[in-house]
Structure 1
Amino acid sequence: MKRVAAYARVSTDNEEQLSSFDAQMDYYTRHIKSNPAWTFIEVYTDEGISATSTKKREGFKRMISDALNGKIDLIITKSVSRFARNTVDTLTTVRKLKEKGVEVYFEKENIYTLDSKGELLITIMSSLAQEESRSISENVTWGQRKRFADGKVSLPYKRFLGYEKGEGGLPKIVEKEAVIVRLIYKLFLEGKTPSWVAKYLTTNKIPTPGGKEIWRQSTVLSILQNEKYKGDAILQKSFTVDFLTKKKKTNEGEVPQYYVENSHPAIISHEVYDLTQSEIKKRKKVKGYKTSGDCFSGKIVCGNCGSFYGRKVWHSTSKYRRVIWQCNSKFKNDKKCDTPHIYEDTLKEAFLQAFNSILKNKAKILKGYEEIIQALTDTTKLDKESAKLQNELEVVSELLKKCVEENAYTVLDQAEYEERYNSLSERYKAIENKITEINDKCIERNAKQERIEEFIKILEKNSTVLTEFDDELWNAVIEIVKVNSEIDIIFVFKDGFELQWNI
């Protein structure tokens, strides 16, 4: 009695294909059981999996394992393309099975692998199937790149927070998710770190973009840095290197990349997005930036070593309980910081007095801001310089292409060619770096404008003297507080204004 199994697979998981899949399973079960010379083992299956590689096909791998372990004598499958579209995979698998005396029968091609002509036919059929897979892959890739060139945006909606597929295939805002995106930006700009935001979202049982319970710092950071939330889109950030392995690579200039402005509705304003990018870069340069749920965390800086202050509680179980803030690196450096600890109550009182002093001179301060905004935030010169460099970059890019083409079609001295190519390549990178620097300056200036305008709104809104400390107001107006000595501190406001204060 020959022990017989079958293998069935469909490459997509739509209803039409799945009904075909069920029919295949039913057919093979009845077909094997109807032959009195055969013993039915199993119909091994894989649903919704592409066949260009056998690595991810669990049903297929289990079947081969069972066959190699002597549980199967014959495997029946619909065709070579159902078995695998990769010549190497097909032949390697068939030869392994052949060594163990296991035969594979491909119905469509009427091939028995233990037949004398089997291997030659399999090689030919597999090569054709692999070429078909390459053709399909290239057609899909061409279609995607055509959409990119046309500025058509497509998102991985199942794992993308805030959007769903709308009319015409364009992203449409999902308001209940957009609220979470805005909250993430708000908490970050209030001084919280991505890891703190991740813990907060997890604690409050807000599902991740993928529908999971636990948020990661990297997920929060990717949302904060994704330009799609401001309504723009960088297209073709990565591309598929090999159609067989499906291996993807970050696009570093190998294929065209496109930046589409206002491609879909924005959840975050351009100003808030630029402010966030500016804040991310600023924090990278800062020593030991950390935050807790406290409004002073990440705000108080040691005037001596530049480290942040951390919260400590003295006499926590007695009536003398006091909350103090102290330099986190006070005892870490070779030389102990001579900046003092500062009482939380003292800092709150100093902020009330300092902010009230600004309110008294509000009219005078607001009057001078119009000229300050214009002087600090004008990007006209930077925009002109960026456009000039962009034109230069295109010229160098063409020279690089011509250099490569000339070497491909003409016999050149390779030492001279390499020297010329490297010179152009270095020039290209230098121009790219200059453009990046200019763009960073523009973002910084736009962020500064946003901070100043927000500060002006707060000043205009507050007209009466403050009598109680307000966490929200503190977060909205204070960038940092520098502690220089027991009596000398400097309040640095979000608009860049510095106010020295004695406590």
Structure 2
Amino acid sequence: MKQGGNTTSRLYGYTFDECGNYIINEPEADAVRLIFKLYLEGKTMKEIITELKIKGYKSATGKDTFPLNSLKDILTNEKYAGDMLLQKTTVIDVGSRRSKKNLTKPKYYVSNNHEPIIKKEDFLKVQEIRKERDRKYNKNHNVSKNHKYHNYIYSDIAKRFYRTKINHRNTKYEVKLLEMLDSNGNRILEAKNIYYKQVDKAIEEATKALIKDLRYLKDTFNQELNNKIKDSNLLLQIENTTNIINNLKDELKTVKVSSIDAGLKDNLKSKLNEDLAIANADLIKLKYLKLMRYDYEKNVPILIKKLRDLSNIEDVCFKDIFKFVIAKSRENLILCIHLSNRNIADVNLDEEIDNESLYRGSFLYKQSRVLLDTVWSIIVL
């Protein structure tokens, strides 16, 4: 399914008419609004569940206490903001009602598909708060300082991520570095070792460059985005597809009022409707691509705020600023800022490596008898 409409048999806060149109169920919608309001106020999930119970709201299954997973589903469901992400799941086998998470087929985002229960800006704020909470949890529980760059530096030579290695562990000569191993655990000698402190220095210098240019950062990103869109010919493709749709609609109108043979008319209408459906699907794909790949509107202000809030360069959580580092060689490091709306898992680093560099710099890094003339640059994913 590639057009808007209802693909859900049951959704807390809504009912559906015989045509599948969304109708707000006000008693349940009040609970949804309260859930988002409390979350935006900084309440924990446990506190929200307690508040819902005190106010007498029941879950979708009629329980007095909302399950934690139900709360998470509500807070992450774009339908409450009036939008729809199509093909989130896929059927396991024909004739079965069982489904699984869709990891292979394209997904389509339909904006303003139906009447929202909450404001879109509130939905987006909640998603940012969720990400921030997850980041803090991961920072406190899962991230080891000894392995912070593990699976973070991508080698353009080996086409895989570097692994952490610690030489002379727990001695005054300890050195943390990154080495490249193949699937059998053997060294890939062409991808030379990179030192942790070398990456630290690159991230520090790159972050300082962004902070120094903070006043003009939005303009810099917008210019880079405009160049990307121009090079992609995406706007031209959208315009051409829109023209095709309009021409097909005009042809369809002409055929409908024509006096040609009824059988021929039906065949022509069927063919034109089929072509129109294909063109509409193509237009949805192109607009979705533009939204996912060529729209920084939401993420640029978030990045600028993170940079502005840094009181000390030591406070930087590097993965909040640079999602990955691509090593063209051990002396050429590309720091990647993720500003598009794409899921990071959908980003192909091999395709992004030649993106325009927004900032560049260099420094000498010395480790024992090794002197590395290191060049760093910043690109946007």
**TM-score (normalised: structure 2):** 0.49
User: Normalising by structure 1, what TM-score?
Assistant: 0.40
- Larger RCO, structures 1/2 (Cα 8 Å, 6+ apart): 2
